[in-house]
């Protein structure tokens, strides 16, 4: 009889305890995210630490790319697709070009007066003849203008002695990418990199076409 009453007590207690927990959670704000419709939490509430050797999303600085196609050749799954062409006969081709990357994430495409230094010092001054308004993201520079920039604002300078090929396509299919990093190792200009942040790690899309990243920028060649 004692065991029978004890079982009844334990059963009723378990039910009441479960109901208390349920009622307690019932009035708390929802923590469920309607993913992928809601994905702001990835950036705002992501507290995960980046592990050592993390390989993030592939990114190509196409203004530094020489279209050698080494990355596409070494890719084990053929997820990189490149299409380039030679300029038409009598077409425009730069004999020299510099891409000046500034610390505010903008760039100036033009020709630097003199040789670009191997090491940039803050007290240096650079005179740049602006030759490519569409490829330039630095604001308010008219075509053909001469721009003076201090070394304290310059992050790096890329020299392109001669543009031999025009890039029409540079696509990376992230649905196939293995994140092996082989493409970044063979890149001679180090324009192809893997981000060291958690940006872009969630690849959830309703359309697979949205996971094909297109990097070609025809404006650089105008």
Question: Which CATH number describes the domain made up of 58-87+163-221?
Answer: 3.30.70.3270
- Report the percent of the chain where pLDDT is more than 70: 78
Better pLDDT: 209 or 93: 209
Contacts of 94 (CB under 8 A, 6+ apart): 131, 160, 162, 163
The predicted model scores a pTM of: 0.57
Q: Can you give the pLDDT at residue 188?
A: 83
pLDDT digits (tens, 9 = 90+) for 29-88: 777 777 667 666 555 555 566 777 777 788 887 777 888 889 999 999 999 999 888 766
All structural domains of the chain with their residue ranges: 58-87+163-221, 97-160
Better pLDDT: 202 or 153: 153
The conformational region for residue 175 under phi > 0 = left, psi -120 to 50 = alpha, else beta, is: alpha
């Amino acid at each position: 009889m004692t065991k029978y009453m004890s079982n009844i007590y334990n059963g009723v207690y378990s039910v009441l305890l479960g109901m208390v927990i349920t009622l307690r959670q019932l009035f708390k704000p929802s923590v469920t995210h309607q993913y992928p419709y809601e994905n702001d939490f990835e950036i705002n509430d992501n507290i995960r630490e980046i592990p050592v050797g993390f390989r993030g999303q592939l990114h190509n600085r196409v203004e530094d790319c020489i279209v050698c196609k080494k990355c596409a050749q070494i890719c084990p799954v053929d997820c990189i697709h490149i299409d380039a062409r030679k300029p038409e006969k009598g077409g425009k081709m730069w004999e020299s070009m510099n891409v000046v990357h500034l610390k505010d994430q903008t760039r100036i495409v033009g020709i630097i007066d003199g040789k670009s230094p191997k090491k940039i010092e803050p007290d240096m001054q650079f005179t740049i003849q602006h030759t490519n308004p569409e490829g330039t993201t630095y604001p308010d520079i008219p075509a053909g203008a001469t721009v003076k920039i201090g070394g304290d604002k310059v992050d790096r300078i890329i020299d392109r002695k001669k543009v031999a090929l025009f890039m029409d396509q540079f696509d990376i299919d992230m649905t196939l990418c293995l994140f092996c990093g082989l493409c970044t190792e063979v890149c001679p200009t180090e324009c192809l990199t893997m981000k060291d942040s958690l940006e872009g790690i969630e690849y959830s899309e309703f359309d697979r076409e949205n996971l094909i990243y297109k990097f070609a920028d025809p404006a650089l060649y105008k």
